Amino acid sequence: MKASKHSPRALLCSVLLSIPLFGQAETVNWTNWLTGQISKHPDVMAATEQAAARNSDAEASEQPLYNPELSVGADRTGSENNFEAGLSQTIDWSDQQGALQEKAKLIRLSAQAGLSEAVLTQTSESLFALVEWRATTLFEEIAESQQQRLDALLDQVEQRQQAGDLGRADAELLFLNLSRQLSEVAQAKAAVDRAETQVQERLPDWRPQDGGIPEYIWPALESQIGEADLLSHPSIAVARAEWQVLKSEAEVARRKATASPTVGLSGGRDGGENVVGLTFSIPLNVRNNYSAEIRAANRRALEAEARFQALYRKQQYDLAGARASWKRYDKQLRRWKELSQGRVQRSADLLEKQWQVGDLSTSEYLQALGQRAESLKTGIELEKLAQLGLIELLSQSGELITPFQ
């Protein structure tokens, strides 16, 4: 079945796809997969149903305000049978229907914005989880690689100790480092397990072999950075639409306070004679002029406006903070890549050669290996923070998801 314009699938399909991309076919395939996964999440499904309910509320608001009224009566006077039938209609004198139709439009906007907000939240959280999972798997690889290197080193130390090249202290020092590394590997694996469950909670069919966010996605994301119109941000759009709905309700309350007349036409027989009647009635708003209801509706609209303005202001600061944070992490990541330039990857073999020829003591070699591992972790951490910062920036600006026009 083709997705409707306002369905979550139509909204999600625009994630990462608002501009031409390198490797567009691959990007579309991965985005479609992400779309399907997010649309299955209970939060998005609940938001979809809520939007459908709001749309039904809008449809109800558009219906005619008053139905015609039919009345029938009969009685008997002596030998005469009397009867009367009438039809009456209340007239929407103040055009409440016009205000209700305007309210219906705003309810639909609110429903759409609410669904977009749920999709945006779930999209950003899913991408966050994928980034976190990838970082933990890389940390695990480093920990396991370090353990394997220490295991191999232990064999070499024992052989050199038997040959008399190394003392017992070197073996003990290596044993202590290896013991600590076993704990680090266990912690790294536990972190991967936790990260996997976080991804699976958000993306129901995801499995570790599916991997994280493809590398070709990131240039597409980065190319969307720019000044955003925050009024179109789903959270801001929701607050603005709710304010407009309450504002329209205040107008409905004002028009409702105006009395609506009822006109009726009746006919029948009375005492053997045909009778025709015309009736006109109008409520007298004397005891209650509904001014309290109007004031309450106006106050609720003013409250909603103030909340919208406060949220809009906060979003501006949140966006500025997210942009500054991402730029900071991205700058440091680029600097780290410039400094490393493959040096960290090649350094392990170089250090081992220096230890083999005696240029490095065992303690110095172990310390250097630890520093190398920390450098690799630093690069992974910086990459993770830069990616999380970019996702947060796109989420705060509303660029992470752009509904189809």
Domains in the chain, CATH or no CATH each: 36-65+92-206+227-260+272-281+309-397 (1.20.1600.10), 67-91+261-271 (no CATH)
Higher pLDDT, 232 or 357: 232
Q: What is the mean pLDDT of residues 186-204?
A: 94
Percent of the chain past pLDDT 70, that is, above it, reads: 85
pLDDT value at residue 220: 66
Whether 92 shows a pLDDT value over 70: the answer reads: yes
248-294 pLDDT, tens per residue? 999 999 998 888 899 999 888 877 788 888 989 888 888 888 899 99
Average pLDDT over residues 328-354: 80
Neighbour-count burial of 75, counting CB atoms closer than 10 A to its CB (0-12 exposed, 13-18 middle, 19+ buried): exposed
CA distances from 25 to 10, 28, 191 (A): 18, 5, 33
- Average confidence (pLDDT) over 333-347: 78
Choose among 226, 236, 180, 111: nearest CA to 373.
180
Mean pLDDT for 194-219 is 89
Q: Write down the pLDDT at residue 344.
A: 64
Q: Stretch 177-189: mean pLDDT, rounded?
A: 87
Q: Is 205 helix (H, G, I), strand (E, B) or coil?
A: coil
Average pLDDT score over residue span 362-390: 87
* Residue that wins the pLDDT comparison between 179 and 115: 115
Mean pLDDT across the chain, nearest whole number? 83
Position 161 confidence tier, pLDDT thresholds 50, 70, 90: low
Q: What are phi and psi of 267, to 5 degrees?
A: -155, 160
pLDDT at site 362:
74
More confident residue, 281 or 362: 281
Q: How far is CA 109 from CA 83, 113, 128, 224, in A?
A: 51, 6, 28, 25
Mean pLDDT on 86-95? 89
Q: How far apart are CA 86 and CA 95, in angstroms?
A: 25
pLDDT at 155: 75
| Residue at 296: amino acid letter | A
Percentage, residues of the chain above pLDDT 90: 42
Residue 165: pLDDT band by 50, 70, 90 thresholds?
low
Average pLDDT over residues 54-78: 88
Q: 379, 340 in Cβ contact below 8 A?
A: yes
Residue with tokens 């073996």: 171
Q: How many CA atoms lie within 13 A of 41 on its CB side?
A: 26
pLDDT of residue 169: 73
- The pLDDT tens digits of the residues spanning 108-145 come to 999 999 999 999 999 999 999 999 999 999 999 999 98
Distance CA 45, CA 383 (A): 33
pLDDT in tens, 379-399: 999 999 999 999 999 899 888
Question: Which pLDDT belongs to residue 163?
Answer: 62
Q: Model confidence at 151, in pLDDT bands (50, 70, 90)?
A: confident
Q: In angstroms, rounded to a whole number, what is the distance separating the alpha carbons of residues 277 and 77?
A: 19
User: Which amino acid does the sequence have at 50?
Assistant: Q
Q: How confident is the model at residue 403 (pLDDT cuts 50, 70, 90)?
A: very low
Contacts of 141 by beta carbon, 8 Å cutoff, 6+ apart:
none
DSSP 83: E
Residues ≥6 apart with Cβ < 8 Å to 198: 129, 132, 133
Residues 6+ apart with CB under 8 A from 43: 118, 121, 122
Residue 137 three-state SS: helix
Dig out the tokens for 20 from the structure: 């031409």
Q: What integer pLDDT is reported at residue 178 of this predicted model? A: 80
Which stretch of 151-160, 320-329, 393-402 has the lowest confidence by average pLDDT?
Answer: 151-160
pLDDT of residue 17: 42
Going by pLDDT thresholds of 50, 70 and 90, the confidence category of residue 5 is very low
pLDDT in tens, 19-47: 333 445 666 788 888 888 999 999 999 99
- Tokens linked to 350: 């170089």
